[in-house]
């Protein structure tokens, strides 16, 4: 069935974090990373069935839950994992927190690659650890890894954990096998465990392929924990359902215990059915979504190229998040974000939220109808034109 992603869904007054953040009628949210599209029909049907049952008591995981995760890896990423490796968590953020707690002690250091998803920083500092930054290098077109710097930092004996974002939010890179292997080998050499956050693994554009970090070699598999979730892929973030994939039995037991201590391993009665339906029946929906998002991406890029010459937009290889270089403007990205919010009701995220290296950039979520995205771009254009 052909899905019409141009058909918008009104999300106002639905307790949406994205849309109901304030009551301004003209507010156009292009900030937090969820989509304005309805979930696949199969997911909605599964949840309706669950609602109709009418009893929402404590839940347990059926085999079908684990089988759905395993088979999704295989059919989408040609990677075979074992059912036993799969553990539940009520979101990737709780997983990040638990992993930092379980594998470091206060005062240790955690390595991240900035600019990067801000909760890597938060999970680290909440765990009483210090953030060590391996800044990604922007070569004018895309970001690359400074391996010498990475190795220097990983060699610090206090660095116990590296949090990898693959694909990368916000810079849109899909890391290649060679890059991942090199990072992984450096971490092994210096006894640094790798937390691979692969929540964006399914949102990869034509010409690119997600390489699961753990799939590279047995050595890297045994030195890592991978986080996944159907939340970004199928717009299910509110179901609070994610998984941690851990082949190393010692790590798995440690993490399980920490998730238990944190109360982050209890299933959500809707999340179970939602994940099973999404992974078992959502592939066609996802294929269509990717075509639509790629169209949005390309439209966004040509709009900026033609009408906003002072801005430079990176071509994301994955994710529905556009990373826009605003450093040629006479104001900071923070001032620009504030102006856009105040003058045009356009809410996006200032790149500085993702670390010092993100300053001068803005992040815009384009997982909305093309019409709405164009409206956002026009608002951006009015403000930028008034500055320059």
Ligand X SMILES: Cc1ncc(COP(=O)(O)O)c(C=O)c1O
Residue nearest to ligand X (CB): 91
CB closer to ligand X, 111 vs 165:
165
Which residue from 231, 337, 365, 369 is in contact with ligand X, where contact means CB under 6 A? 231
- Binding window for ligand X (CB under 6 A); candidates: 41-49, 91-99, 245-253, 285-293: 91-99
Contact yes or no for 316/172 (Cβ under 8 A): yes
Which helix (H) or strand (E) segment holds residue 163: the answer is strand 159-165
Return the residues of window 170-209 that contact ligand X according to CB under 6 A.
Answer: 197, 199
Instruction: Write the CA distances from 338 to 303, 304, 316, 353, integer angstroms.
Output: 22, 20, 24, 13
Residue 229 as a binder of ligand X (CB under 6 A): the answer is yes
Which residue from 39, 43, 81, 92 is in contact with ligand X, where contact means CB under 6 A? 92
Query: Closest separation between CB of residue 93 and ligand X, Å?
Result: 4
- Binding window for ligand X (CB under 6 A); candidates: 86-94, 129-137, 270-278, 295-303: 86-94
Query: Closest separation between CB of residue 166 and ligand X, Å?
Result: 9
CB closer to ligand X, 91 vs 127:
91
Question: Which distant-in-sequence residues (6+ apart) come within 8 Å of 291 by Cβ?
Answer: none
- Using a 10 angstrom Cβ sphere, with 0-12 exposed, 13-18 middle and 19 or more buried, the burial of residue 149 is middle
Query: Closest separation between CB of residue 35 and ligand X, Å?
Result: 11
CB closer to ligand X, 272 vs 329:
272
Residue 33 as a binder of ligand X (CB under 6 A): the answer is yes
Contact yes or no for 227/167 (Cβ under 8 A): no
- Binding window for ligand X (CB under 6 A); candidates: 19-27, 148-156, 229-237, 287-295: 229-237
Radius of gyration of the chain (CA): 21
Query: Closest separation between CB of residue 164 and ligand X, Å?
Result: 10
Angle between helices 92-103 and 118-126 (to 10 degrees): 40
- CA–CA separation, 321 and 312 (whole Å): 14
CB closer to ligand X, 118 vs 288:
118
Which residue from 29, 91, 212, 274 is in contact with ligand X, where contact means CB under 6 A? 91
- CA–CA separation, 276 and 282 (whole Å): 9
Residues paired with residue 224 on neighbouring β-strands, in sequence order: 194
Nearest to 213 by CA among 79, 68, 66, 69: 79
For ligand X, what does the binding mask look like between residues 232 and 251, x meaning CB under 6 A?
-----x----x---------
Q: Which two tokens stand for residue 16?
A: 């949406």
Binding residues for ligand X, per CB under 6 A? Answer: 33, 91-93, 117, 165, 169, 197, 199, 229, 231, 237, 242
């Amino acid at each position: 069935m052909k899905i019409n992603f141009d058909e918008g869904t009104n999300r106002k007054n639905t307790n949406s974090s994205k849309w109901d953040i304030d009551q301004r009628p003209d507010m156009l949210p292009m900030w937090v990373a969820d989509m304005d599209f309805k979930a696949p029909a199969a997911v909605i049907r599964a949840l309706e069935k669950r609602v109709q049952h009418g009893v929402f008591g404590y839940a347990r995981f059926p085999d079908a839950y684990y089988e759905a995760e395993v088979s999704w890896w295989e059919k989408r990423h040609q990677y075979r994992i074992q059912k036993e490796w799969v553990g539940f968590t009520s979101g990737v953020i709780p997983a990040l927190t638990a992993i930092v707690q379980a594998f470091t002690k206060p005062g240790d250091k955690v390595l991240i690659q900035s600019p990067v998803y801000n909760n890597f920083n938060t999970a680290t500092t909440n765990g009483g650890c210090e953030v060590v930054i391996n800044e990604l290098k922007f070569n004018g077109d895309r970001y690359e890894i400074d391996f010498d710097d990475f190795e220097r930092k990983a060699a610090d004996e206090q660095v116990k954990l590296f949090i990898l974002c693959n694909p990368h939010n916000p810079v849109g890179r899909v890391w290649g096998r060679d890059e991942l292997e090199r990072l992984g080998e450096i971490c092994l050499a210096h006894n640094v465990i790798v937390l691979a956050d692969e929540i964006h693994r399914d949102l990869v554009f034509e010409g690119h392929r997600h390489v699961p970090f753990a799939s590279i070699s047995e050595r890297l598999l045994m030195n890592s924990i991978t986080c996944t979730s159907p939340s970004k892929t199928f717009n299910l973030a509110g179901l609070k359902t994610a998984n941690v994939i851990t082949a190393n039995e010692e790590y798995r037991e440690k993490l399980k215990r920490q998730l238990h201590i944190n109360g982050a391993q209890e299933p959500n009665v809707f999340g179970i059915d939602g994940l099973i339906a999404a992974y078992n029946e959502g592939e066609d929906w996802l294929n269509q979504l990717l075509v639509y998002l790629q169209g949005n991406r390309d439209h966004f890029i040509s709009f900026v190229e033609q009408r906003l010459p002072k801005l430079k937009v990176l071509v994301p290889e994955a994710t529905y998040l556009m990373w826009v270089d605003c450093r040629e403007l006479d104001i900071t990205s923070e001032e620009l974000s504030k102006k856009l919010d105040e003058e045009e009701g356009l809410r996006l995220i200032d790149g500085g939220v993702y670390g010092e290296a993100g300053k001068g950039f803005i992040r815009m979520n384009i997982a909305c109808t093309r019409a709405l995205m164009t409206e956002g771009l026009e608002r951006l254009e009015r403000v930028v034109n008034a500055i320059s």
